[in-house]
Structure 1
Amino acid sequence: MPARSIAQLSVLLQSGSLDPVDLAEETLAGIAGHADQTIFTTVTAVRARAEAEAARKRLRGGRSRGTLDGIPVAWKDLFDLEGLPTTAGSSVLRDSAPATKDAAVVHALTDAGMVNVGRVNMSEFAFSGLGINPHYGTPRNPASPAGEHRIPGGSSSGSGVAVAAGLVPVSIGTDTGGSLRIPAAFNGVVGYKATRGRYSMEGVFPLAKSLDSLGPLCRTVQDAAWIDAAMRGLPAADVLPRFDPADLSFVIPETIVFDGAEAAVISAFEATVEHLVRAGARIRRAAFPEFSAIFDLMAKHGALVTAEAYVLHRARITGPEAADMDPRVVKRTLLGEKITLSDYVETLAARERLIAAFEARLGATELVLSPTLPHVAPALQPLVDDEDLFFQMNGKTLRNTLIGNFLDWCGVSLPCGTDTNGLPLGILVSCPRGRDIDVLAASGALETLLS
């Protein structure tokens, strides 16, 4: 099945050249016939067929709901789908009560006419940036060299792979420390982390409410903008302003984000910067001591995500269910037991100070430009075999992206090339909370330039 964007499919559906029912059947057959059966945890074939049939009737009757009508969508395994238990990538929730209604954003996209084809795999309870799952298997990164199994990135692992493999044009995930932008970079797709609170979190299984945000993994920035509009209940029209690269101003951080970066990462990043400079974009480089302060704060008081995950899962990880969980998730969550209330409160207060200090250093129209990750997707098996390597790689993988979660940014990861083995590389455009249209429009301009 060819990998197609929302925009490409929408043109075919709206013109009548493609029938929504045929597209749904093609999608379901592609999922069933795919060599990697770890990508989807649940396929909602009955629901998909009913929604596709409804879309067919609307389109044939001239009552289209807009750009997204009839487009298939998959959901990370922590969004409520009516009638199904929400398992959040964990075996211990398999027998939990079925959801009584869809999550609010599921309802919003269904209302826009999208066809829900199922749920996709993830790191257990969303608590890893690598995407490894011992219960449902670990999806293979489609860019893996022949005979290798490279990791997909997490925690929205199945979402990244489902889009990269062409099984669906879009999958909705969450991002607490990089869980959209990491799989986007590793799999060579677009990942948009919206400002925290931009969409309703009703019916979404949390990890850390002070950090959790939502967004799509898809093939283009325009697709991400259409999904963004629909998730807010707005028409999925041409909502982005058109930026010329000469209209853009970027600052490149000299703190943290290049530390230990692979040569291919730096080379692809600098080549992209050179494209921007030639196109007239304004670029400056600057140190941001706030970035270092974040990691100093975590070393002193513990991480916000760990504190909040421990409170959420305390009964689970200190009881009999722990034996049926990924031991790495249990071990990492248990670190929250050492974080005191004063540690937590001091971290929240320091966070607001660091956000204010960072935003004061940034120009009113500037965006932050950085490598999404310092490395390409590593091989799976060494990480499974060596727990110390797992935690070391997890920390390195989350490092660049978690800065944006802590400082409450929005951001888009875009593909910007590959290394010599054909493994994707990502570039990250970010800016302060609330500037989502700016970050999407600038990313769209960059995407056009790179293409």
Structure 2
Amino acid sequence: MPANPRSIAQLSVLLQSGALDPVALLEETLDAVEVYPDKAVFTVLTKERARAEAEASRRRLREGRSLGALDGVPIAWKDLFDMAGLPTTAGSRVLADAAPAERDAAVVRALAGAGMVSIGRVNMSEFAFSGLGINPHYGTPRNPAAPVGEHRIPGGSSSGSAAAVAAGLVPVSIGTDTGGSVRIPAAFTGIVGYKASRGRHSMEGVFPLARTLDSLGPLCRTVQDAVWVDAAMRGRPASEALPRADLAGLSLVIPETVFFDGAEPEVVAAFEAGVERLAKAGARIRREAFPEFAEIFAVMARHGALVTAEAFVLHRERIKGEAAAGMDPRVVKRTLLGEKITLADYLETQAARERLTAAVEARLGPESLLISPTLPHVAPLTQPLVDDEELFFATNGKTLRNTLVGNFLDWCGVSLPCGTGAAGMPAGLLVSGPRGSDARVLAVASVVEGLVG
């Protein structure tokens, strides 16, 4: 791991000033990936493409035609985003022979248009259907934050994205988030993960899991980096200003329902230490019960999970046919649960979703944002989860619990590192807000980051 992994902002200063050459940075990046001992992080390196993009960036910067703050900065993509000329395999062997994509996904095109250099694809949970990051086909990336000699999960489904950034191989990787798949691995590995509101970015050319839940966002080193990438993915200048956020008088709400159930004491302690720092800085913090959060899980128990219903529709031919033999049995088993979910169940859940979203937002109030532990526990050891299916499913459910609330409500959120829990592993603090409040959530997260990081 590099001794001092660099953020996008740090690299941008060097690139824009001419102190760092985009081609030299690319070769340094490729060399770091090649010698990195964990070969389960990247699934493919797009060296030819990356070299062409870096050369073009070099010409622009030398001629004074920079495309902006992201020009020449390396980026990696979760194996769900179409990249021209490559099959999109979604972490699965059964798609290895799929037809190559004819063109890049919309957000890949947008960041290429901002001058970013795409160095390759990173690993993930098969079909994005797990919060743990375990992949029996391409290997499970090691969590770079784990003590030497320990193999702990990186979190999923954007496992390779988190591992690549946490290891300092790239400053940013784009992941997707259907139940927590950006925020979970960010919290487990001690980096920043921003889940955008659904619809903020184009999902064109992104392999789906559950279309009414799917969103995407960057895993990176700082909130500032996330802000720049978010703007560029929407076709806006990376320098676009966020609204100002001042902690003095800022209203933050800590949910007393669900989020702390069964949480590890060390994780709670790290979160509460962050809360104390925020309060001392002038934030107004209140704790409140949200019975709606408990009702979300009651609705899921009664009617089934939306993600399971939609994943079954997407994969039903695959898991009912010969392809199932080549899939992770745990993914097959979980997807098959969707067969039992009726249309009436699905519609009842969607109706409950609208009702509960409105109720939660009314309880929160228009001036407040939610803060909570991102996860109730730190990253566990990998091998026990591989060996014990019952433990796998129990841990997966607990890992997804806090974050899936945001997906169900269609919220946005930023996970920030806030100290350590058991075994010195990272703990995360999550700033969340209603759909469409992305700019405010990012602005507040940027201020919070300076106090709890």
Q: What is the aligned partner in structure 2 of residue 278 from structure 1?
A: 280
1:226-375 aligned at under 5 Å gives the runs 226-375=228-377
- Asked if the contact 2:267/2:422 (under 8 Å) is kept, the reply is no
Question: How far apart, CA to CA, are the structure 1 residues paired with 2:250 and 2:388?
Answer: 44
Q: What is the aligned partner in structure 2 of residue 188 from structure 1?
A: 190
Cα shift at 1:421:
2.1
TM-score w.r.t. structure 1 length?
Answer: 0.99
Deviations 1:244-270 (A, max 9, x none): 221421000000000000011110111
TM-score w.r.t. structure 2 length?
Answer: 0.99
Aligned partner of residue 245 in structure 1, secondary structure: coil
Cα shift at 1:420:
4.9
Could you tell me which of 42, 46, 49 is aligned with 1:47? 49
Aligned partner of residue 6 in structure 2, secondary structure: coil
Question: How far apart, CA to CA, are the structure 2 residues paired with 1:130 and 1:231?
Answer: 27
Question: How far apart, CA to CA, are the structure 1 residues paired with 2:216 and 2:145?
Answer: 25
Question: How far apart, CA to CA, are the structure 1 residues paired with 2:241 and 2:84?
Answer: 30
The aligned amino acid for 2:170 is: V
Question: How far apart, CA to CA, are the structure 2 residues paired with 1:420 and 1:160?
Answer: 20
Deviations 1:356-415 (A, max 9, x none): 111111121200000000000000000000000000000000000000000010000000
Q: What is the aligned partner in structure 2 of residue 155 from structure 1?
A: 157
Question: How far apart, CA to CA, are the structure 2 residues paired with 1:134 and 1:247?
Answer: 49
Q: What is the aligned partner in structure 2 of residue 214 from structure 1?
A: 216
Q: What is the aligned partner in structure 2 of residue 446 from structure 1?
A: 448
Question: How far apart, CA to CA, are the structure 2 residues paired with 1:21 and 1:348?
Answer: 49
- Asked if the contact 1:242/1:445 (under 8 Å) is kept, the reply is no
Question: How far apart, CA to CA, are the structure 2 residues paired with 1:442 and 1:103?
Answer: 30
Could you tell me which of 61, 86, 91 is aligned with 2:93? 91
Could you tell me which of 410, 430, 433 is aligned with 2:432? 430
The aligned amino acid for 1:392 is: A
Cα shift at 1:419:
2.3
Deviations 1:46-93 (A, max 9, x none): 100100000000000000000000000000000000000000000000
Question: How far apart, CA to CA, are the structure 1 residues paired with 2:426 and 2:192?
Answer: 11
Question: How far apart, CA to CA, are the structure 2 residues paired with 1:365 and 1:206?
Answer: 33
- Asked if the contact 2:172/2:218 (under 8 Å) is kept, the reply is yes
- Asked if the contact 2:142/2:154 (under 8 Å) is kept, the reply is yes
Question: How far apart, CA to CA, are the structure 2 residues paired with 1:4 and 1:245?
Answer: 27
Q: What is the aligned partner in structure 2 of residue 38 from structure 1?
A: 40
Question: Where in structure 1 are there 5+ consecutive unaligned residues?
Answer: none
The aligned amino acid for 2:305 is: A
Aligned partner of residue 159 in structure 1, secondary structure: helix
Question: How far apart, CA to CA, are the structure 1 residues paired with 2:184 and 2:350?
Answer: 25
- Asked if the contact 1:249/1:283 (under 8 Å) is kept, the reply is yes
Deviations 1:103-132 (A, max 9, x none): 000000000000000000000000000000
Question: How far apart, CA to CA, are the structure 2 residues paired with 1:395 and 1:419?
Answer: 20
Cα shift at 1:239:
2.0
Question: How far apart, CA to CA, are the structure 1 residues paired with 2:280 and 2:77?
Answer: 39
Question: How far apart, CA to CA, are the structure 1 residues paired with 2:319 and 2:241?
Answer: 44
Question: Where in structure 2 are there 5+ consecutive unaligned residues?
Answer: none
Question: How far apart, CA to CA, are the structure 2 residues paired with 1:388 and 1:291?
Answer: 25
Question: How far apart, CA to CA, are the structure 2 residues paired with 1:367 and 1:259?
Answer: 21
The aligned amino acid for 1:9 is: L
Aligned partner of residue 99 in structure 1, secondary structure: coil
The aligned amino acid for 2:364 is: L
The aligned amino acid for 1:405 is: N
The aligned amino acid for 1:191 is: G
Aligned partner of residue 16 in structure 2, secondary structure: helix
Q: What is the aligned partner in structure 1 of residue 77 from structure 2?
A: 75
**Residues 1:204 and 2:206 are matched in the alignment:** yes
Question: How far apart, CA to CA, are the structure 2 residues paired with 1:232 and 1:410?
Answer: 16
- Please identify runs of 4+ aligned residues in structure 1 that moved more than 3 A: none
**Residues 1:15 and 2:17 are matched in the alignment:** yes
Aligned residues: 451
Question: How far apart, CA to CA, are the structure 2 residues paired with 1:52 and 1:27?
Answer: 12
Q: Percentage identity across aligned positions?
A: 74
The aligned amino acid for 2:216 is: L
Question: How far apart, CA to CA, are the structure 1 residues paired with 2:249 and 2:335?
Answer: 44
1:386-397 aligned at under 5 Å gives the runs 386-397=388-399
Question: How far apart, CA to CA, are the structure 2 residues paired with 1:10 and 1:32?
Answer: 23
- Asked if the contact 2:195/2:414 (under 8 Å) is kept, the reply is yes
Question: How far apart, CA to CA, are the structure 2 residues paired with 1:110 and 1:417?
Answer: 34
Cα shift at 1:422:
2.0
Cα shift at 1:241:
2.6
Aligned partner of residue 145 in structure 2, secondary structure: coil
- Asked if the contact 2:245/2:440 (under 8 Å) is kept, the reply is no
